[in-house]
Structure 1
Amino acid sequence: MSGWAIRGELILNCNCTVFCPCVVSLGKHPPTEGYCQTWGGIRIDEGHYQGEDLSGLNIGLLIEIPGLMARGNWKAAVFIDDRASDKAFDGLVKIFSGQARGTTGLFKVLVSEFLGAERAPVSYTNEGKTRRLVVGKAIKGEVVPVPGANPDEDIVISNTEYWMGRDITVATATQGRVRAFGRVWDFDGRSAEICQIDWSGPAAEQAA
Structure 2
Amino acid sequence: MALDGTELVPWAIKGELILNCNCTVFCPCVVSLGKHAPTEGYCQAWSGIRIDEGHYGDEDISGLNVGLMLEIPGLMARGNWKAAAYIDERASEAAYDGLVKIFSGAARGTTGLFAVLVSEFLGAERAPVVFETEGNARRLMVGKKIQGEVVPVPGKNGADQVVTNTEYWMGPDITVATATKGRVRAFGRVWDFDGRSAEICQIDWHGPK
TM-score by length of 2: 0.95
SS in 1 for 2:101: helix
Query: For residue 79 of structure 1, what is the aligned residue in structure 2?
Result: 86
Of 27, 30, 48, which residue of structure 1 is paired with 2:34? 27
Query: For residue 197 of structure 1, what is the aligned residue in structure 2?
Result: 203
Shift of 1:37: 0.1
State the one-letter code of the partner of 1:154.
Answer: D
Give per-residue Cα distances to partners, 1:120-162, cap 9 Å, x unaligned: 00000101100000001110000000111211x1100000000
Of 110, 133, 140, which residue of structure 2 is paired with 1:133? 140
Within a 5 Å distance, the mapping from 1:1-208 to structure 2 comes to 3-151=10-158, 153-202=159-208
Q: Which ranges of 4 or more aligned residues in structure 1 deviate by more than 4 Å?
A: none
SS in 2 for 1:133: strand
> What percentage of residue pairs aligned between the two structures are identical?
81
SS in 2 for 1:92: helix
2: CA distance, partners of 1:29 / 1:50? 36
State the one-letter code of the partner of 2:199.
Answer: E
State the one-letter code of the partner of 2:204.
Answer: D
Give per-residue Cα distances to partners, 1:157-206, cap 9 Å, x unaligned: 0000000000000000000000000000000000000000000002xxxx
Shift of 1:108: 0.2
State the one-letter code of the partner of 1:92.
Answer: L
SS in 2 for 1:141: strand
State the one-letter code of the partner of 1:60.
Answer: G
| Runs of 5+ consecutive residues of structure 2 not aligned to the other structure | 1-8
The count of corresponding residues between Structure 1 and Structure 2 is 201
2: CA distance, partners of 1:198 / 1:54? 14
2: CA distance, partners of 1:190 / 1:160? 21
SS in 2 for 1:150: helix
Give per-residue Cα distances to partners, 1:78-113, cap 9 Å, x unaligned: 000000000000000000000000000000000000
TM-score by length of 1: 0.96
| Runs of 5+ consecutive residues of structure 1 not aligned to the other structure | none
Give per-residue Cα distances to partners, 1:51-74, cap 9 Å, x unaligned: 100000000000000000000000
1: CA distance, partners of 2:121 / 2:69? 10
